[in-house]
Chains A and B, each alone.
Chain A
Amino acid sequence: WRRWLRSASAAAFWEACCIVLVLTLSPLLFWCLTALIAIMLKSKTFVKKTRSGGVMKIVREHYLRDDIWCGSEACTECKQESTVLQKDACIESNLCSYPHYLIPDTNVVLHQIDVLEDPMIRNVIILQTVLQEVRHRSAPVYKRLKDIIHEKEKHFYTFTNEHRRETFIEREPGESANDRNDRAIRVAAKWYSQHLKMFESDTDGLKVVLLTNDQGNKQKAEESDLLVYKCEEYIKSLIANPELVDRLALSSDDKNEITSSKVLFPEHLPLSRIQAGIKSGSFLQGTFRASRDNYLEATVFVQGEGEDSTEVLIQGLQNLNRAVHQDVVAVQLLPRNQWVAPSSVVLQDEGTAKDDDVEEEEEEKLVAATLMSSMSLKPTGKVVGIIKRNWRPFCGMLNVSQIKESTRHLFTPADRRIPRIRIETRQASTLAGQRIMVAIDGWPKHSRYPNGHFVRSLGGAGEKNTEEEVLLLEHDVPHQAFSQAVLSFLPKMPWAITPEDMVRREDLRHLTVCSVDPPGCTDIDDALHCRELENGNLEVGVHIADVSHFIRPGNALDKEAANRGTTVYLCGKRIDMVPELLSSNLCSLRSNVERLAFSCIWEMNHEAEILKTRFTKSVINSKASLTYAEAQMRIDDTTKNDDTTKSLRGLNKLAKILKRRRIEKGALTLSSLEVRFHMDSETHDPIDLQTKELMETNSMVEEFMLLANISVAQKIYDEFSECALLRKHPAPPPSNYDILLKAAKSKDVVIHTDSAKALADSLDVAKVDGFPYFNTLLRILATRCMMQAVYFCSGMDSDFHHYGLASPIYTHFTSPIRRYADIIVHRLLAVAIGADSTYPDLMDKHKQSALCNNLNYRHKMAQYAQRASVAFHTQLFFKSRGILNEEGFVLFVRKNAIIVLIPKFGLEGTVFFDGKDKTAPNLVYDEEGPTLTIEQHTFHIFDKVKVTISLDDSNIQHQKIRMALIDPVISGVSVPAPDVGPQAKKPKLDQ
């Protein structure tokens, strides 16, 4: 018997993996359960160094089979059940006039995944060797590759070459792992070409084509009579699709052609030196955050132990050293005498590519200038190496090169923190004026800009669809159509409730349940009922769509929803978290259809005190889907006395008591202006805009949702103290209130901020005579002082308090259609009441907490996207309106500007006093007030001003609303009163 022996020499075999032994066993007996096929047995042996320095020899079995099929439609030899690759795999090409299958090597997949994703590229064989290498080297590319393989129209076939007898090869002595894999790819390609040769007669010469960018590999492949092309060569040869060329990523040997040999940047240190440096403390590791306003400045956020984290300032192109926003970098601090203060200059990289040198000098001057004016020095450093790039495809626009024939152009990303990217394209003239996506391929040290390649076009700039796409992409909102894998987990239509569904459910179809939602809402996730019981008490029920019944843990649908985290509502568009069949149909609690629900039912007395709470899965049949206005009308209309109306009245009465009690406990009512656009039904352009109105019924629904959330939070926390998913709202630190206190003081109003209750009370009494809007403004300011509410896992935190709602515990339960957190809460609650079974991830607090982080991130990004969408629609609105004059209030006072809020539009804008083109007036800023004195006039917070509003579209990527002062009149600063203004709008202005 062979023994495993510990190898004595340690040094030479660092994770070296080599196949040494081939066992030739007399095939005495062999049992295989599926089919008796000839299988060879190989043994993979490799030597591995352990942590303690010992050497281990690891032997793994490796079975080689004959039953791995080629996957081609043309093949009659293989006994495959279904085929993936088409028989007539034709694509028009200069190089290959015959039908062919493509076999890309690992590097082609890694770098040219954008090309492979193109619908034109079909009939590709992905070898297992390639797939595994991709898996090790890049998780995102691996996921994209797998998505392509799953797509049926793409005809991508995975060939398990490592386990097929003919295509398995052993690593030869002295051969590196990469070389061995390259050889394996060639051997597999060879096998395919020979295999397909057998059917040449009836396939008009079907062949395989190997794609590789590696010169050595290509040569060896040619030596063994393979059809092999470089990826660029092949793509360029495709006659019908010239635009594919632009999606090609630049490979390293192309870069040399583009740039001069002049070295612009210092070399990045190798990872080993960086790690050593970080360990010894000479380098710091942090996230690179480029400045929005100054392209020569950035900060590196260094996460320290516990709470203390520092920021290191980086200035100048050399010191930034090719780091891109969000990269993880290593920085070295400069000596103290070189520390600088952050410059307050706004600098934008406007130069064109051609004169790199000239720019350079200018930059140096600017940096020098900031050095001189330094007042408060900050730790300053330089980037010495990149630990992890965080590149994603960026949206932006093309700056077409002045030279007409040039194929190299600069691309300006929409995000100002991203440097401009040099790309190569032949379709510059078509792409000019379009929003496009570009991916960075690399940033060589002798190039002023990173090199990238065109990914796809999003459409004309300024168009609604394009801009929407841009803002979704820039806010990292997953918005692709749901994949086939996800859709496969949807219930089959027609769907009906089966007796199995009813086993653990209560039948509540007889109850008069109704839903109240905003107009046009199709994803109704909550419904209510209220009825009097025989004992005189009231029974109130909140029924929430039972989404967790349809979305089972761990499947593709669940994973997709968990990743999306939330439905994103843009103006006139909704990006669903779950497919529409669920969100707008099966889960939506529409009227007069039977729907599955998760019900929370209380027994209350007439003082709205909860006597009993119970939770149950149920079936309901909503009697009416109302809008807030309709519900309000029913309540107010004394002639109506049907069950629904009575139920609504009961709810309304209880809600008022609940709200009063909540406010007594110190819940905050804050204010932020939300606007609603009236959309033109044809063009979907905004035609009017109004601030959202709140009705009694809004707060009625809200009260019961809060109540349900709190009840559920308590229940799941009692049941699962370690892994309940809750939501908390931390109390803001006192310093956050400074701006509010100062602002209130200027009007002689005192605000107490010791507790939520004190704040709520003092906001209630804060009133100034003759200034009815004051209170709202104050509340808007108070809102800005607040912290973000976040999801968390109860086992990982001890502070559960929800500051804004003044509740000791809170969670989200009531909107599972649009929030993933609610789905988890549903699952927890279902387990708690024994209606569903649990699964491991649900009970794992670390996984739970990782999920919370994603949900918090998605919620934040969704909010930003929403705001950006409102801003964009406001721009569209003002574009069609021309110049308007409006009254507004000063909300903040800054050093060189005032921020004005126009209540009518809920619009905030900045009035600058030191424009680029005009001479700055005499500005005096007083931080205590805060006030700003310009010439003779002093601005305070809450001052009433008149401004003109217009759309500034001088920069097509960053259109913005421009405001200019009309009243008070300050010479040299304010603009003359309206000379323009559509006649039709006049009456409105007078109001």
Chain B
Amino acid sequence: MAGLELLSDQGYRLDGRKATELRKVQARMGVFAQADGSAYLEQGNTKALAVVYGPHEMRGSRSRTLHDRAVINCQYSMATFSTAERKRRPHGDRKSTEMSLHLKQTFEAAVMTQLYPRSQIDIYVKILQSDGGNYSVCVNAATLAVIDAGIPMRDYVCACTVGFVDETPLADLCYAEESGGVSSLALALLPRGGQIALLQMDARLHQDHLETLIEAAMTACKGVSKVLDEVVRQHLQEVSVLTGE
């Protein structure tokens, strides 16, 4: 049987988006009271919850303490009901460990850790529903959570995946596209300076196309950053109304 046609001749993707269009992004900050910072973010059908504790004193082994900056501790997990097939996901499996490391790298580049020497910042992210682009949704959610916790960052970190089909980069892949044999690239960007916090790609791609793909990913990230910015501003407004300032 014929496989899925990821990009039609008319330029529409499976779900009706055009190549450069993102999925609908919705977010809310401060969803939990007991945490220092929290955020919930939906990007299409991918939904993630991020919680931030800290900065606080080092817990557990004190040997990991850094004397010039804070340690960032990330933990990524997926809910058992997050994918089409229900599956128990034990902590610390390979995939989530790897993802945790990626998140850690991303936020070490963005959070101004040197302000908090000898302390620790915990970022916990959980995927509630997975429909492609898990990494980027986690990063976007965690950014909001970190901001909610009031931890200074150099800039928003915005992430987006981009795939390459028929010589065209597709922004923000959904699961059907990701699993359709597309070579995809995930990129986390500090949009104002245009610095890349993380760039990840496992598939094969011709070198000539890499440039265009990164270009498309950066544009997409900037799009995400505008949405995040708006969320933060609206949240601030709501909060300031409540506190009567």
Residues of A in contact with B (beta carbons under 8 Å apart): 1, 3-6, 25, 28-34, 41, 43, 50, 54, 56-65, 128, 132, 135-136, 139, 142, 146, 149, 158, 160, 162-163, 837-840
Contacts and interface: CB of A to CB of B under 8 A. Distances in A.
13 contacts: A31-B24, A33-B20, A33-B22, A33-B171, A56-B85, A58-B84, A60-B174, A61-B15, A61-B44, A61-B131, A65-B16, A136-B2, A837-B206
B9 A62 contact: no
Interface string B1-44: 11001001110101111101111111100000000000000001
A163 B12 CA distance: 9
A59 B16 contact: no
B219 interface: yes
Given A31-B24, A31-B226, A58-B84, 6 more contacts: A5-B81, A32-B21, A61-B45, A62-B16, A158-B8, A160-B16
B176 interface: yes
B204 interface: yes
A33 B21 contact: yes
A3 B81 contact: yes
Contacts of B81: 3-5
A837 B208 CA distance: 9
A156 to B, nearest CB: 11
A158 B5 CA distance: 15
B47 to A, nearest CB: 7
Given A4-B129, A61-B174, A62-B15, A30 B24 contact: yes
Interface string B66-85: 00000000000000011111
B227 interface: yes
Most interface-central of B26, B83, B220 (chain A CB within 10 A): B26
Contacts of B204: 840
Interface string B223-242: 11011001100000000000
A57 B128 CA distance: 15
Contacts of A59: 45, 131
A139 B2 contact: yes
A37 to B, nearest CB: 10
Contact of A64 (B8, B16, B226): B16
B243 interface: no
A33 B219 contact: yes
A1 B16 contact: no
A132 B4 CA distance: 10
A31 B9 contact: no
A-B pairs with lowest CB-CB distance, top 3: A163-B16, A63-B16, A56-B84
A162 B83 CA distance: 26
Interface string B41-67: 000110100000000000000000000
Contacts of B176: 60
B13 to A, nearest CB: 9
A31 B15 contact: no
Nearest to A158: B10
Contact of A32 (B9, B22, B47, B84): B22
Contacts of B219: 33
B95 interface: no
B26 A25 contact: yes
A674 B208 CA distance: 48
A128 B16 CA distance: 11
Contacts of A33: 20-22, 171, 219-220, 223
A128 B174 CA distance: 21
B15 A50 contact: no
B158 to A, nearest CB: 11
A60 B2 CA distance: 19
B6 to A, nearest CB: 13
Interface of A is mostly: mixed
A601 B170 CA distance: 45
Contact of B26 (A28, A56, A65): A28
A128 B14 CA distance: 12
Contacts of B223: 31, 33
B94 interface: no
Nearest to B22: A31
B10 A1 contact: no
A135 B2 contact: yes
B88 interface: no
Given A41-B24, A136-B1, A149 B9 contact: yes
Nearest to A5: B81
Nearest to A135: B2
A62 B231 CA distance: 24
Q: Name the residue in B21, B204, B220, B223 with the highest tally of chain A Cβ atoms < 10 Å from its Cβ.
A: B21
Nearest to A65: B16
A837 B207 contact: yes
A124 to B, nearest CB: 15
Nearest to B224: A31
A146 B230 contact: no
B206 A57 contact: no
Most buried by B among A30, A33, A60, A839: A33
A142 B20 CA distance: 27
B161 to A, nearest CB: 15
Contacts of A28: 26
Contacts of B1: 136
Nearest to A3: B81
A162 B16 contact: yes
A963 to B, nearest CB: 52
A299 B129 CA distance: 56
B26 A4 contact: no
Given A1-B128, A64-B16, A160 B8 contact: yes
B86 A6 contact: yes
Contacts of B12: 160, 163
A6 B206 CA distance: 40
A30 B5 CA distance: 26
Nearest to B220: A33
A29 B171 contact: no
A30 B224 CA distance: 10
Contacts of A3: 81
A235 B91 CA distance: 67
Nearest to B171: A33
A43 B16 CA distance: 12
A149 B21 CA distance: 26
Most buried by A among B10, B224, B230: B10
B22 to A, nearest CB: 6
Contacts of B17: 63
A644 B22 CA distance: 65
Contacts of B9: 146, 149, 158
A31 B2 contact: no
A31 B131 CA distance: 18
A29 B15 contact: no
A135 B15 contact: no
Nearest to B225: A31
A4 B8 CA distance: 29
A25 B131 CA distance: 18
A221 to B, nearest CB: 25
B85 A50 contact: yes
Given A59-B45, A837-B206, A29 B84 contact: no
B222 to A, nearest CB: 9
A837 to B, nearest CB: 7
A179 B47 CA distance: 34
B86 A60 contact: no
Contacts of B15: 60-63
Interface string B126-148: 00110100000000000000000
B23 to A, nearest CB: 7
Nearest to A150: B9
Contacts of A25: 24, 26
B14 A60 contact: yes
B187 to A, nearest CB: 16
Interface in B145-184: 171, 174, 176
A60 B130 CA distance: 11
A128 B21 contact: no
Contacts of B23: 61
A45 B44 CA distance: 14
Given A50-B85, A128-B8, A34 B231 contact: no
